[in-house]
Structure 1
């Protein structure tokens, strides 16, 4: 029997956590080890305990997407990304974080905001939840934010949405968030943007993530 369309949805699983041990306290995220009951057995899993993150796909009136090139040490690449940042300010809503990141990384503000996509980036090994917003009706903004470290050499580029989609499908743009965002936007545009959601919808996926930082 085929799945019903409205039945295809990730569901919160309630399992009994017997013990949660902090293995490594990191600068941005921690490594935790949980012992829990599952299927009549006790299992042990290690994972990155992540505070969550937001990203912004900014599209101008000509259907061009703002990309930024940034050095990422873990992969040894300067990859092309969309503006993004951690949810590391206590109590800050996702939309406010996205607006802050767009200003800090791109010197832009947007008059129109929509929720484009929610992701678990790597559910087998990290609690990280990512919320991607679509920003339109863009304007330049002045602020006193000073970019440091890797962000000091950010390189911005405006590229047509179709070209970025082609680059992702061709393997030239491999950043998971960027690829997911542009493919979602390409599909949403084909449907007249009717799939976009309220940018202030409750972010239950992040609230339900395991780990000390998410509580």
Structure 2
């Protein structure tokens, strides 16, 4: 089956198999339709979860009996970590989040953030490395996670900082929007090639080359 990234809450997860990494995408919560991603190292079977958004029982089925060592939260908004406490309790995984959002995540979930990451840090599991790309604007400490496949194209997990058709919501804060669009342009589009596939916190995936022609339009419209 060809991976499409088109998933719906209550529906079937979608899985992409790369040479060194297996990516499983699942949507949870019919109201918010959050995406959660399980990344499994082929060499060691060690796996991480990106955004324990909701429905811990659904996430548990995707994790299966695998050795889940880390849960990464892309940002502090409530809809991205409602299952965090349950997942950490059942797996014993280390929690990871961007430094500026870590305290808010703990306040909302009562789960301590063990690893407070900064721009450029590496998150390793098995033979896989994810590079942290800090994107300030949607929240102060939002992070994207780059898997630069040594045998293929880059893969980028963007949380709510980048979607097909635009950047994340900055809730009418003009300064936050400027920060967000600047970081997205400088740290993502100017660095990574068109074939980079990105996986957002809600909805369908896309590639940077599809979105790149719209950057000026996004900046002009202000959202």
TM range (shorter): under 0.3
- Greater relative contact order: 1 or 2 (C-alpha under 8 angstroms, separation 6 or more)? 1
TM-score, length-scaled by structure 2: 0.23
TM-score, normalised on structure 1?
A: 0.23
Higher strand share: 1
**Greater share of helix:** 2
